[in-house]
Amino acid sequence: MPEITVTEAGRRASDVVRQAIVDGYPGFWVALRLSDGGSDGIAYTSKRDAVRYQLHEQQCAYLRVPRDDANPKEMSRWLEIHRMLYDKGLRLADPDDEAEREVIAPWKVEDLDAAVQNLMRRAGL
């Protein structure tokens, strides 16, 4: 498996998520910019609100704040995966999805490629 590179965007996203944890927002949602890992600084009670309050829905990825941690390496990979899925034409942030689904990404590249192909096939792309 190739080594995961920690990026500035991953560090910034990690800081955003860790701050939300410290502030008492586990289970809430944050909108993380794909471009730089930053956010609007708001912890939303629902994914729907997190999506709807963004200027451009597909410039962000949406994460439910975990209870424990989101380290820079994990967040770098998480952003990379979301960028790749958006580049493939998938819409990941359906604001009308009552189930508030999240992308759970595999760490191995070959598993990720298979998951992306499966998502694209289901989306009819």
Query: For residue 1, is it within any domain?
Result: no
pLDDT tier for residue 1 given thresholds of 50, 70 and 90: very low
CA-to-CA distance for 115 and 120, rounded, in angstroms? 9
pTM for this prediction: 0.76
CA-to-CA distance for 23 and 70, rounded, in angstroms? 14
List, for residues 58-100, the tens digit of each pLDDT value: 899 999 999 999 999 999 989 998 898 888 887 665 556 655 5
Q: Domains in the chain: how many in total?
A: 1
- Residue range 107-120: average pLDDT? 60
SS3 (DSSP) at 94 = coil
**Residue 110 is part of which domain span?**
8-123
Cβ atoms within 10 A of the Cβ of 101, count?
12
DSSP alpha helices (H): ranges in the chain?
Answer: 8-22, 47-52, 72-87, 109-123
Query: For residue 3, is it within any domain?
Result: no
Contact 69, 15 (CB under 8 A): no
